[in-house]
Amino acid sequence: MPAIMTSSPSKSLRSHNRWLVLIAAFKFAQALLFVAIGVGARRLLHKDIGDELYALADHLRFDPESRFVNFILEKATLVHDAQLRRIGFVAFCYAGIGIAEGIGLYLERMWGEFLTLAITASFLPWEIFEVYSRLTWPRISLLTINILVFLYLLKLIIERGRHRGRSRA
């Protein structure tokens, strides 16, 4: 005879910390962006980057004589296959780290929280320097988000440590 469930299915499922899920979603989106960068770098191997960018600018209906397009095309001539390989490799590595962070946070694993805390902390000095060197809203927004993520994860880890310390006593 089948067992009868007395509680509703929603009560039996563990609810997730909504802030960790939000941070995990951000990490997954960031990883997707880096995968796209890596794929883009790999697709540009053995091609004339200037021609590719000119075709893209034409397709997007940018003025081919604009300073912006000329600046980008000028810089594109400096990029070669070895650099594209490195860009692709680093982008894929960073995407892998982002996926690991997202999985660890979504599953609410302590290693995921520590990994995200460490990586976020490692980028904060660079972001502060970037805001200091040139004050823009996107830079301020990114710095603010990362500081809030850092503080939230730090608070979560400290509270968990206190709770564990009390339970041992």
The token pair that represents 33 in the structure block: 């962006």
Tell me the average pLDDT across 156-167. Answer: 84
What average pLDDT does this structure show over 79-96?
Answer: 96
Dihedral sign (CA 98, 99, 101, 105): positive
Q: What is the pLDDT of residues 34-77, one digit of tens each?
A: 999 999 999 999 998 888 888 888 898 888 788 988 888 888 88
pLDDT of residue 2: 52
The model's pLDDT over 18-39, given as tens digits with 9 standing for 90+, comes to 999 999 999 999 999 999 999 9
pTM over 0.85: no
